[in-house]
Chain A
Amino acid sequence: MSTLEIKNLQVAVSTDEGMKQILRGVDLTINSGETHAIMGPNGSGKSTLAYSIAGHPKYTITGGSVLLDGVDVLEMRVDERAKAGLFLAMQYPVEVPGVSVSNFLRTAATAIRGEAPKVRTWVGEVKEAMASLNMDPAFAERNVNEGFSGGEKKRHEILQMELLKPKIAILDETDSGLDVDALRIVSEGVNRVKDSHNIGIMLITHYTRILRYITPDYVHVFAAGRIVEEGGAELAEKLEEKGYAEYVTA
């Protein structure tokens, strides 16, 4: 059982016009096995929340804390956060030319597990995970994210989540750029990985359509850098109907 506690998190980003405050006191607790949907309009700071927890150097923490099982995450280097059990599935996964998917996955698994996985079991493990995400085995020999379609990029993110088995996974706009079939495959992958490893999920999304496939235990409405309303899955239905207008004008 793991817990990610975000307390009064405040984050700024440096712009040409000086420091700009993005997060204005975020409080959120995610336990193993729970799915929390973070929903909100564009520009409300959802992605900033994801990237500052993962440790992107662009963001400056100006207040608050993030604890994973009581340990301060904000003091850790980016790779240490991953080793501690955090995973960020990115909205725009980055191309790494000349680095094959298989080499990348093995290097990451070696780092996270603290030792190189045994070759024989590893090959099987990767093959099985790829098959369950409908990925062609030839995919492993391609360069990381290079020339991948939108659907391939997102499947590759979930493949990593499966192999790295985090305690808490943050999925940033995983539904963006996916057609209906790809959305279903990726969502099924998330559900399967979550259930088999009892992962706590922070699902960041603008639209409700992914929630037809991944049922949230909690829905948090995000606006102007903080959580402005919380509820269960029924809150998503209300947002589907009415949109974010009332939160933006508020």
Chain B
Amino acid sequence: MTLNSNLLESHTPTSREELWRFTPLAKLRGLHDVDVTLNSRVSLGGASSLSGLAITIADASDVPNTSETNDLVSMRVRELSAKVLKVEIAKDAEIAEPIYLTRTVESLDPEVSRTVIHLGTNSRATIVVENTGSITLAEEIVITLDSGAHLNFVSLQEWENDAVHLGHHHAIIGKDATFNSTVITLGGSLVRLLPTVEYAGPGSSAELSGIYFATSGQHLEHRIHVDHNLPHAKSRVNYKGALSGDKARTVWFGDVFIHANAEGTDTYEVNRNLLLSDGARADSVPNLEIETGEIVGAGHASTTGRFDDEQLFYLESRGIPANIARQLVIRGFFLEIVSKLGLPEIEERIMNRIEAELEKASS
């Protein structure tokens, strides 16, 4: 297998293609268009002052691809990135402090950014990607976890409302390694993220969580793909979204593929959407393909609905005014995922932004 071979020819996607039919291509500022020139800039960076951590910028020619991709965005990023941000966690390093990777923004000209993250055997770390500002970005982040490594990976999309962001976060999880990913998407005009996972050894585990909150005119799309390509791996997927305002739009796909050889697979995925106003639209498509029955478990659930009237009645019957009752319910809805981050400052910041957007949306 040549890892640099691509499964698809690079081309400009159209809305007739299944993978792109929900995405408003006209809003992409040419990011998807093979005829448009994309700048190559390492827009992500961080300080490597912690022991066991190295953050460097390398020539793309020195950073071979470690995974195949059939994602058109990744293909373009790989093709056009001259430099790559490399984050290296040394073998056995246990870094308690979160490692922040911060995005710098320059203009709205379309650009690509490529990042590789590697965790050595039995290392532990928390990495937080902070995306703020205005940008037109196509990015790929490939994360490799060696045996027994443990990574908490957080990607925060707190963009300004004119940002466009196409991203592919791919994790390759080694034997007995654990990958916990939390994707939080609140800002941006159009955000389309592909958190994907493959396994490199048994006993490996992925927990993919996320929240998104779309207000008027925002398109927030998340396409999860978990490839159970070998035996005895585990995955949990839990994404929750809320929508408020005219033309608020979210798309969620959860593809879990259990190959014929993936005996002992244990997987469950769930997506819940809360529609807070008329004129908003949420698509939720869980998709489970199973080629072997010799598994521990496989399931999925998806719900999209309005406020639960019984919850609101219960709170109001205790004297809590309707607007505060709604805030409590929405806060609780997201807190299930946000409180698991173990990062109190970020939790506070996220919940405050959600509340501010809620107030804006309801005023």
**CB-based contact A160/B334 at 8 Å:** no
**Quick check: which of A24-32, A38-46, A107-115 contacts chain B, the rest being far away?**
A107-115
Given contacts A96-B329, A98-B331, A143-B332, contact A111 B317 (CB under 8 A): no
A94 smallest CB distance to B (angstroms): 4
**Quick check: which of B106-114, B147-155, B275-283, B319-327 contacts chain A, the rest being far away?**
B319-327
The CA-CA distance from A49 to B335 in the complex, in Å, is 36
**CB-based contact A96/B320 at 8 Å:** no
**CB-based contact A98/B317 at 8 Å:** no
* Residue in A55, A88, A93, A98 whose CB lies within 8 Å of B335: A98
The CA-CA distance from A95 to B314 in the complex, in Å, is 9
Number of residues from B at the complex interface, CB < 8 A: 25
**CB-based contact A79/B321 at 8 Å:** yes
**CB-based contact A99/B319 at 8 Å:** no
* Residue in B308, B316, B324, B335 whose CB lies within 8 Å of A82: B316
The CA-CA distance from A56 to B315 in the complex, in Å, is 12
Q: Is B9 an interface residue (CB 8 A)?
A: no
Given contacts A79-B322, A111-B324, contact A98 B332 (CB under 8 A): yes
**CB-based contact A99/B317 at 8 Å:** no
Given contacts A97-B336, A98-B332, contact A83 B319 (CB under 8 A): yes
**CB-based contact A88/B317 at 8 Å:** yes
Which residues on B sit within 8 Å (CB–CB) of A104?
Answer: 315, 318, 328
The bracket for how many chain A residues form the interface is 20 to 34
The CA-CA distance from A77 to B324 in the complex, in Å, is 14
The CA-CA distance from A93 to B317 in the complex, in Å, is 11
Given contacts A56-B313, A57-B313, A90-B314, contact A96 B328 (CB under 8 A): yes
Which one of B308, B316, B329, B339 has the greatest number of beta carbons of chain A within 10 Å? B316
The CA-CA distance from A55 to B314 in the complex, in Å, is 11
The CA-CA distance from A55 to B308 in the complex, in Å, is 16
Chain B stretch 292-330: residues in CB contact (< 8 A) with chain A: 308-311, 313-322, 324-325, 328-329
21 A-B contact pairs sorted by A residue (CB < 8 Å) = A54-B317, A56-B313, A57-B313, A77-B322, A82-B316, A94-B311, A95-B311, A96-B328, A96-B329, A97-B336, A98-B331, A98-B332, A98-B335, A99-B328, A99-B331, A103-B328, A107-B324, A107-B328, A111-B321, A111-B324, A164-B318
Write the residues of chain A forming the contact surface with B, with a CB cutoff of 8 angstroms. Answer: 54-57, 77-79, 81-83, 87-88, 90, 93-99, 103-104, 107-108, 111-112, 143, 160, 164
8 interchain residue pairs of minimum CB distance: A98-B332, A82-B319, A108-B318, A78-B316, A111-B319, A94-B314, A99-B332, A112-B319
Write the residues of chain B forming the contact surface with A, with a CB cutoff of 8 angstroms. Answer: 308-311, 313-322, 324-325, 328-329, 331-336, 339
